[in-house]
Amino acid sequence: MEDIDAIAALQDPVRRRLYEYVAAQGREVGRNEAAEAAGVARTLAAFHLDRLADAGLLESGSRRLTGRSGPGAGRPAKVYVRARAERAVSLPARDYRTAAELLAEAAEEAGLDAGLRAAARSRGERLRDAREPCADLEQAMEILAARGYEPHLEDAAGESAEETADAAAGEDPARVVRMRNCPFHAVAERFPPLVCGMNLALLEGLLGADAGGAVRARLDARPGACCVVVEPAAPSKNNIH
């Protein structure tokens, strides 16, 4: 399917809500859960989820859900995740991707890591636009979400903090922000040290992380996610330094 057709499939508001919900979870989502989140009947949700899969925006499979409730728990059910393929439409046709790849290739060969990072840091600062450095992880989440990083809170140990997020609002120093999406994915895969270093510098500028702010960013790469983790600048727990 052409990108423009796939994107056009999101015009239906219910379908778009379903897509955005599934995409935001970063895991397999069943029909009941998606229907509930979108506020529609299960049959309608199932229809639209399958249309999204047909359009290549979601991938579907069967999985035994171990849900906490529901009559379907324990039986194989149809589940959906966001498809990995990128979709883009530009009118008129533009090709910034090729330009980015060529510039990155030249920067890599010339060893321009430091210059690129300086440019990225000052771009981040300009995007922050003279606002105060980021005050806490909650604010960092908002800033990162606005730039498409798809942030989520995790316990520093690596467990998802979603279930405890409501209980302790934002003051737990053992929590960190990780990001599901790399906005520079295609070039980051080709030139990881160069582009991930650029990304870190951009985020440091954006969050004010190196300007005495309350959060800091550092590289902590993991498969399938953004290379950066954002954490409190001075963890009070086990504070060695």
- Contact set with other proteins (CB under 8 A): 3, 83-86, 110-111, 113-114, 185-186, 189-190, 192-193, 196-197, 200, 218-224, 227
For other proteins, which is the closer residue by CB, 114 or 168?
A: 114
For other proteins, which is the closer residue by CB, 56 or 70?
A: 56
The least CB distance from residue 113 to other proteins, in Å, is 5
The least CB distance from residue 89 to other proteins, in Å, is 13
The least CB distance from residue 99 to other proteins, in Å, is 18
- Residue for token pair 């001075």: 234
For other proteins, which is the closer residue by CB, 73 or 83?
A: 83
The least CB distance from residue 228 to other proteins, in Å, is 10
CB 176 within 8 A of CB 162: no
The least CB distance from residue 85 to other proteins, in Å, is 5
Residue (of 37, 49, 48, 51) closest to 79 by Cα position: 49
CB 191 within 8 A of CB 108: yes
CB 212 within 8 A of CB 123: no
Q: In the structure encoding, which two tokens stand for residue 189, read together? A: 């895969």
Residue (of 145, 134, 209, 204) closest to 180 by Cα position: 145
For other proteins, which is the closer residue by CB, 99 or 219?
A: 219
For other proteins, which is the closer residue by CB, 85 or 102?
A: 85
Q: Please report, in angstroms and rounded to a whole number, the separation of the first and last CA atoms in the chain.
A: 55
